[in-house]
Chain A
Amino acid sequence: MNFEEFQNSARLYVIGALEPEELQDFEGARKQYGTAAEDFIQQCYALHEAFALSLKPAKASEAIKNRLMAMVRERGPKQPPA
């Protein structure tokens, strides 16, 4: 797999669209290209953000936030391990 093919696979990988048999080849190329591969994969995650930002925001109900904050505050700070 050359690097351009790796890049195509990486974009599929971050959205979870690689088939199992492709995943094996992808992981092999990922090892082969090392840091360059990891850097590119990180950049590809920008696709997630782009898809989310392309949607019209949908406001959640205020009750949800109140419930969430009540749960968080009720739990209080986590205790350090004994």
Chain B
Amino acid sequence: MSSAADSNVQASSGGEVEAEIPPQKMASSVPIELGAPSDVDLMLRIQAEDADALSQLYDRYDGILKALILRIIHNDTEADDLLQEVFLEIWNQAKNFSPQKGKPLGWMVTLTRRRAIDALRKKQAYNRAEERLQAETEQQPLAWVENVTDKEIRAGDTRALMAKVINSLPEAQQQVIELAFFQGMSQREIAFHTNIPLGTVKTRLELGLKKIYDGLKELKDEL
């Protein structure tokens, strides 16, 4: 599926709170060392063709972006190759990033997801991935989000908090969101794949995404 959203990769996650914060003060999406440059600082340096900034951004986010790619294409070697292509694209397309429109990670995730789904379709590996996904889903229905301990949540770990929000969804909603986001399926494709009526797919997607969106807003208020 080639989505309208994917065809126009913009900076992603600008929120009402962040919009009031000067770009150079915006926090990173992952914990960074005291005194280390912010994500926005790195992006601005990449725009000025500073290769060291790309190196730092890579060290900060290679794990997250590779996990996303792996979630989509299920092949470690191909994921590594695609990760390299993604960072090259970040380097080449950095001029299109605008801190006023959102955080660098959101922009990179949108770009990475689009590339990974494109790669999945180009390879015509869709059916194989679908079978693997189905097998995984049957064996471990809630495997797409990590189990989170109370200790991690108390520590305020962003990843744990995000996973907690997603984990709180009913399994049926998680399943349709998984297929839409990580497999790039349309509502009709999900309905066909799961044998669930199209209207039910739409309702589950809408409810699930709204819960996650509302959960994220609450998290922003807490953090």
Contact = CB atoms under 8 A, between A and B. Distances in A.
Contact of B88 (A13, A54, A68): A68
Which applies to chain A's interface (DSSP): helix, strand, loop or mixed? helix
B184 A16 contact: yes
A43 B58 contact: no
A56 B184 contact: no
Given A52-B109, A56-B146, A68 B58 contact: yes
B88 A19 contact: no
A19 B81 CA distance: 31
A18 interface: yes
A53 B181 contact: no
Contacts, number: 186
B42 interface: no
Interface string B179-223: 011101111100000000000001001100110110010000000
B13 A49 contact: yes
Kindly state the interface size class of chain A when it binds its partner.
35 or more
A8 B206 CA distance: 6
Interface of B: 1-6, 10-16, 29-30, 49, 51, 54-55, 58-59, 62-68, 70-71, 79-81, 83-84, 87-88, 91, 101-103, 105-106, 109-110, 112-113, 144-146, 158-159, 162-163, 165-166, 177, 180-182, 184-188, 202, 205-206, 209-210, 212-213, 216
